[in-house]
Amino acid sequence: MTDGITWLAAPQSIAFGGYSVVLARGLDAEELVSRLTATVFGPTRTARSLAHLTSKDLIDVVEDGCWDPYPAIGLRYGEIGEWVFVVKYGGWQAEFGPQPPVSRGGAHVFQLEFEEENGKPVPPQFSYLHDDRLMCAFNLHLDRSWGYDGVNGDREVAVRVEKMLAAAGLPDANVPRREVHRTALEIIERCFGLSLPRRQVLEAALPAVVLEIA
């Protein structure tokens, strides 16, 4: 049995402020870190290794360091079966762009992101890209006030996910957002076979880097 990804729906599941996780197949963890680093907006960044750190250790690094004028961003990464994963820490919100494509060269890349403390509030987001092609994307609150209008992406993949959501009775404005969030994660987990090792992410020491201006 694997941990799946539904545990991300818990309050502050990884850190205060929300979560930003990337899972990928078709490239190794170091390459995923390198590709993500290249997509940060602003000046070119490099990934400086911090060896193996716990989640708390890396949070301390990005919160205590002198990083002005750009936000401090840290990454921890690892592997689970055929998948590699990266977890972002610090000021990752709105700092990563789509270019150059992380999914280039045939990689399958899944992004799960929730700015939990954003006062607007911003819904959790999911996207799946393969070889720079959008396969599936939608907001996990299924909230029309935030522009939810079905599942976007490849017709075959998007329709399959929409059918699974409909079978679960969603969207339904009467269901609490956190329950919708969890159910949407469970459907993504089943549809794409995603899993993120909870104990490793929350308690273990994993390879870590801090993104510095080159």
CA–CA dist 5, 93 (Å, integer): 20
Rounded to two decimals, the pTM is 0.95
- Of residues 65 and 192, more confidence is placed in 192
Confidence of residue 165 (pLDDT cuts 50, 70, 90): very high
Q: Which amino acid is at 32?
A: L
Taking alpha carbons only, the member of 80, 90, 31 closest to residue 58 is 90
> Roughly what angle, to the nearest 10 degrees, separates helices 155-167 and 177-192?
130
pLDDT at 167 over 80: yes
pLDDT tens readout for residues 39-93? 999 999 999 999 899 999 999 999 886 666 778 999 999 999 899 999 999 999 9
pLDDT band at 118 (very low <50, low <70, confident <90, very high): confident
Report the percent of the chain where pLDDT is more than 90.
84
Residue 8 is classified by DSSP as G
Residue-level pLDDT at 17: 86
Of residues 113, 32, 97, 77, the one with CA closest to residue 197: 77
Find the mean pLDDT for residues 23-39: 97
Q: Which residue has the higher pLDDT, 71 or 157?
A: 157
**Average pLDDT score, the chain:** 93
H-assigned helices in 13-99: 29-37, 55-64
- 147 vs 83, higher pLDDT: 83
65, 73 contact by CB (below 8 A): no
Q: What is the mean pLDDT of residues 103-113?
A: 98
What is residue 108's predicted lDDT score, i.e. its pLDDT? Answer: 98
How sure is the predictor about 103, in pLDDT bands with cuts at 50, 70 and 90? very high
3-state DSSP assignment of residue 183 = helix
Domain boundaries, given as residue ranges, for the chain: 6-213
Sign of the Cα torsion 30, 31, 33, 38 reads: positive
pLDDT of residue 1: 45
**Pairing, β 133-139 against β 206-213:** unpaired
| pLDDT score of 142 more than 60 | yes
- Which amino acid type is present at position 158? A
